[in-house]
Amino acid sequence: MTDRAISFGGPGGPVFSEIKSAMYAEAQRPLIYNYIYGLGGRDVPVGDFVGMFEKVMGDTANKLADTYEFWGVRE
């Protein structure tokens, strides 16, 4: 899941928080990954979305489950 905003004090972006809350009561919750991108109006090229997808698909040990990551920000 991708968000273009961040919820300060929350566990990831606003869409991630809503989806995670909605799935909480489910007996078999899906694994949810959250990427926060495009902060400050930064453009996000298609290649970045491909990179996000490949990273999630490569996570065979589910280490990224229920976490969030900032993508494409200056450090």
Structural domain boundaries of the chain? 2-71
Write down the pLDDT at residue 47: 93
Helix/strand/coil percentages in the chain, nearest 5 = 35, 15, 50
CA dihedral of residues 61, 66, 68, 71 (deg, nearest 10): 50
> From CA 75, how far away is CA 67, in angstroms rounded?
20
Q: Phi, psi (5° rounding) for residue 51?
A: -65, -40
Write down the pLDDT at residue 51: 93
pTM: 0.78
Write down the pLDDT at residue 37: 92
Write down the pLDDT at residue 34: 92
For 12-20, what is the mean pLDDT? 90
| pLDDT tens for each residue of 21-69 | 898 888 888 888 999 999 888 889 999 999 999 998 888 788 878 788 8
**Contacting residues for 72 by C-beta, under 8 A, at least 6 apart:** 37, 38, 42, 44, 48
The length of the chain, given as a count of residues? 75
